[in-house]
Amino acid sequence: MTMTQARSEAATETPSGRLYLDDLHVGQRFASETHTLDEAQIKEFAFQFDPQPFHTDKQAAERTFFNGLAASGWHTAAITMRLNVESGPPLAGGIVGTGGELSWPAPTRPGDRCRHPLLTLRG
């Protein structure tokens, strides 16, 4: 993966540098680094986990619902996790969840830049 550094605006500093749930407050924002997707990455992930023509074959993808190559939604989800781990809130114990909701409102194309700013919504 190609990670390009983006401005960090971690809003909370603790002596250990790690955050506990008590350190989070509603409205707190965390920036993330940026990841640029390219055709090779899109195809590599798709051949392994989501082998459908709109994710694996640029020409065939033009004749599909997507009208062109698009990243698997599970690929962009996985990249989001990477961005969270590397530049999201430095949670003590790690970033662990038991589930959640996902939404893919638009296709992600080769050349698109992904980032994942986080906002604390509930205390």
- Specify the DSSP class assigned to residue 91: B
Site string for a copy of itself, 4-43 (x = CB under 8 A): ----------------------------------------
Question: Which window, 7-15, 17-25, 52-60, 111-119, contacts a copy of itself (CB under 8 A)?
Answer: 52-60
Name which position in 28, 36, 64, 120 contacts a copy of itself (CB under 8 A).
64
What string of DSSP letters covers 30-78?
E---EEE--HHHHHHHHHHH---HHHH-HHHHTTSTTSS----HHHHHH
Tell me, by CB under 8 A, how many residues bind a copy of itself.
35
